[in-house]
A and B are shown apart, each in its own frame.
Chain A
């Protein structure tokens, strides 16, 4: 294999990593917003599944990918609204409510998604690109949207007034409240936004990056997103980089099946390929370990009020 071929292969693998990392990017940044406002949402996996299922179903009947993405986004947001009501208004344990959202989303998507298992899938609209060859235009567009979204999110969080309000609500809600910021409204807004991003992420999976619906489509990606938030230190740009890295890990077992690869190809060793499916999950645990070390050193910058409900007039943060 010539150097030129290797280069082209590397470009293909990298593009694949961007594609498979982009849903993760949306989910992770959505969760960053929610947590920056002080609400932990462990329901990402459930919202992604509901988004993926409903998005696929809508596409199935309307043939419109955009409409599917929109519906996935809305339903993800609705599930998040439920989580917001239970944790912000009723001040329930955010962990338990988040788990319930995930289980509910898993069950709902499983039962309502039955007719769509193994159905026809959105056909990619192929375009010829330099270096990459024939690729799906939807995937290419999605990657571009992700690449624009992450810096915008970073700018919003760190450089704008609403972003500042959001951070203050997550750091010290009582102080924000005394300045006339509506803590409850802001928390509701960003929890719903985070859910909508998760639903969108799920829909992009079933419609664009990995078209089709099967039960448990997201296979734990929502939980990986929760872990990535910590590793990204609640920063959207870092969230983007780690999402792409995990996209690469998810793609790797597929890429390594390519018999053209020298030395590391798993084409003749399917057992190894099976074991490599574990990579993203083991890597998640590893980055949590690394992140925890760092947190001891620098405290990483977790929002101070993360996980605690705000009650006006009560002592606390």
Chain B
């Protein structure tokens, strides 16, 4: 490269230190860059003005400042929201979307911490939803106490997820079979399994391709049920699922950073050989972590089905993949995942009504790519150096 008459050469060298700011900065830069790149894709897909589209997404996902103001004053005076609309509607929907995202994210975090690539949170979630449905609709009587019913569903969902995570875990631990492929294949098996039950199979009611509406005890209570006492809550769909996610996040953070098991997981993730020499059982931890990961994803399934209130062929796919991206963006930190899940919940809600469809999945893909890329770039220094003599052999490994 010629610059000011002298020859310059780009030199890329690895950083020997790994400063802490790299993670945060590459996440932020990654998201910004992804929005920038995504803008071009939006333009290509026919959006008139990408920035306006982003603003619209944010408004749909989190509400406007005016709505918030009106909502808070109505809340303080215990009156209903003025103008007959939902002041906190977008935020409420975002919280609903954020709870399964958070749980699948946690499922990914615990596995990724051990460099165990569980891409099957989607399938584990499907199976969790399926098992929870089985308990709610076909096992327990319709008159069961609500919290007892929900607890039973949560247990069933978690157990189903544990089982479904244990399969690839066992195969990896015993036969060293690539867990990426097995978890992914099991996703498709789970989709077909649920389809079999509700579309043509034993659980479908008539031609509806659905289990039908769940009995009330098998559904999450929503804020709107308390509208008589608190008028501001009218029409809001927020349910306790988000607290389930937050509790799980705190528990997971404790396991990862404060417990002996979490320490073992992190050691294996950083250096499996060192872990082996230290006497940490790889096989046992692989199986356990896959069980925990699958359990969290299964719980996400129960959480979602208790919010959707019926199991049909349209049970949403893709939460498991969103979890992969959110896990990466939150630097595999369970507490950080709470915040990023909220942002992604907003993204999902905000893009639901906006054309072109599929913005959310495109942005997610771009974000992961850019974040991976920028993080790597930050691990290198880029130096322009003067070339004094003609170097015959290139020293750096850059082709």
A residues near B, CB below 8 A?
42, 46, 82, 86, 88-92, 95-97, 99-101, 103-108, 110-112, 114, 182, 184-185, 188, 215, 219-220, 223-224, 226-227, 230, 270-271, 274-275, 277-278, 281-282, 284-285, 288-289, 292-293, 310-313
Contact = CB atoms under 8 A, between A and B. Distances in A.
B186 A285 contact: yes
Contacts of A111: 41, 45, 356-359, 361-362
A307 B119 CA distance: 19
A106 B365 CA distance: 8
B365 A285 contact: no
Contacts of B398: 89, 184
B369 interface: yes
A95 B119 CA distance: 11
Given A224-B185, A288-B171, 5 more contacts: A112-B41, A114-B358, A220-B187, A281-B188, A312-B397
Interface of B: 41, 44-45, 117, 119, 171, 175-178, 180-182, 184-189, 192-193, 195-196, 199-201, 321, 324-325, 328, 356-359, 361-366, 368-369, 372-373, 376-377, 380, 397-399
Contacts of B356: 111, 114
Given A112-B45, A274-B200, A278-B193, A289 B171 contact: yes
B14 to A, nearest CB: 8
Given A92-B372, A103-B325, A112-B41, A288 B365 contact: no
Contacts of B373: 86, 90, 92
A311 B398 CA distance: 9
A88 B398 CA distance: 9
16 contacts: A90-B376, A105-B365, A110-B362, A111-B359, A112-B44, A114-B356, A188-B399, A220-B185, A274-B192, A274-B200, A277-B195, A281-B185, A281-B188, A284-B185, A285-B186, A310-B397
B188 A220 contact: yes
Contacts of A95: 117, 180
A103 B184 contact: no
A108 B365 contact: yes
A112 B357 CA distance: 9
Nearest to B368: A100
A304 to B, nearest CB: 16
A274 B201 contact: yes
Chain A at the B interface: SS class: helix
A275 B366 contact: no
A103 B196 contact: no
Nearest to A185: B399
Contacts of A88: 399
Contacts of A112: 41, 44-45
A132 B365 CA distance: 43
Contacts of A215: 358
Given A96-B372, A104-B365, A275-B196, A223 B178 contact: no
A114 B363 contact: no
Q: Is the interface of B mostly helix, strand, loop or mixed?
A: helix
B376 to A, nearest CB: 4
Contacts of B359: 111
A293 B185 CA distance: 19
B10 to A, nearest CB: 12
Top 5 nearest A-B pairs by Cβ distance? A184-B399, A107-B365, A104-B365, A107-B362, A111-B358
A299 B192 CA distance: 34
For B181, B186, B187, which residue has the most chain A Cβ atoms within 10 angstroms?
Answer: B181
Contact of A104 (B186, B193, B368): B368
A42 B180 contact: yes
Contacts of B397: 184, 310-313
Contacts of B119: 99
Contact of B365 (A103, A224, A230, A312): A103
B372 A278 contact: no
Given A86-B376, A278-B188, A227 B181 contact: yes
A311 B399 CA distance: 11
Contacts of B369: 82, 100-101, 103-104
Contacts of B180: 42, 95, 99, 223
A293 B175 CA distance: 7
Nearest to A216: B317
A200 to B, nearest CB: 21
A275 B191 CA distance: 11
A92 B376 contact: yes
A281 B399 contact: no
A99 B41 CA distance: 20
B268 to A, nearest CB: 16
A223 B177 contact: no
A230 B182 CA distance: 13
Nearest to B361: A107
A111 B53 CA distance: 14
A271 B377 contact: no
Given A99-B117, A289-B175, A223 B399 contact: no
Nearest to A224: B185
B276 to A, nearest CB: 19
A275 B189 CA distance: 9
Contacts of B192: 274-275, 277-278, 281
Given A111-B361, A293-B175, A282 B185 contact: yes
Contact of A285 (B185, B196, B362): B185
